[in-house]
Structure 1
């Protein structure tokens, strides 16, 4: 995983996961096999296996796409929120373009808007052939971290 070239206001992915209140094994991303492979201020990339995340017809579940998209976008927003601030999902929209039935899908989150109270990210999910399977947009609310609470 990469986390280079960030400013002082950007929190690292390692810090986000280490200081998270929920143990890693209880986090949904861990249970779904999501792995963040690149994490820099303008781009967060992660992968997720299709196996274990299918709906009854054998296709990657649309909800799994949503989890991957919200996870990557939330990490990006939290990294850029600044010290003492957290990001929480406000709105998620996913358009499912084509089915994935095997292998691994990759999501790439890039910023559309980074403000002081909200941040919006586009997340493009592709299959192993590079074909777009889902387009998502996530808006997060950025707020001060409650006193005594870990980020």
Structure 2
């Protein structure tokens, strides 16, 4: 089982122009003070950006994260988080994606991230 399955992340839109990933806030996402751990924001951002970035690549390449910058804007303790990833730049060797995370019910912005990925040759 991978981290996406373990935490219950669900991809609701997948394209090279926009990717959306959701997760239900549960105890497994919390830090000790009863709010979603900041690492979850980074995980959602990198997951959504990587999935979208992969849609831009031929089968012999995969996106590999090289940098992520996340700003946590609002604490979350319940509900559903929605990560929306859109490309900023899709280059030959690097891709940069912007990811906004919202509370689904209130449409409140909770974090923003910039994710940079290298288009890496993949061999099985």
Same fold (TM over 0.5): yes
Q: Aligning the two structures, in what range does the TM-score lie when normalised by the shorter sequence?
A: over 0.9
Residue of structure 2 equivalent to 1:28: 3
Alignment of 1:134-145 (within 5 A): 134-145=111-122
Structure 1, unaligned stretches of length 5 or more? 1-25
Q: Note if 1:38 corresponds to 2:16.
A: no
- Equivalents in 2 of 1:140, 1:56: separation in Å? 31
Q: Note if 1:57 corresponds to 2:5.
A: no
- Equivalents in 2 of 1:143, 1:60: separation in Å? 31
Q: Secondary structure at the match of 2:35?
A: coil
Offset, 1:145: 1.6
Q: Which has the larger radius of gyration?
A: 1
Offset, 1:46: 0.8
Offset, 1:92: 0.6
Residue of structure 2 equivalent to 1:22: none
Residue of structure 1 equivalent to 2:53: 77
- Equivalents in 2 of 1:50, 1:70: separation in Å? 18
TM-score by length of 1: 0.78
Offset, 1:77: 1.1
Runs of 4+ aligned structure 1 residues displaced above 4 Å come to none
Aligned residues: 122
Residue of structure 2 equivalent to 1:66: 42
Of the candidates 44, 51, 65, which is equivalent to residue 89 of structure 1? 65
Q: CA RMSD in A?
A: 0.9
Structure 2, unaligned stretches of length 5 or more? none
1:35-73 deviations in Å (ceiling 9; x for gaps): 000012100001012112011111011001111111111
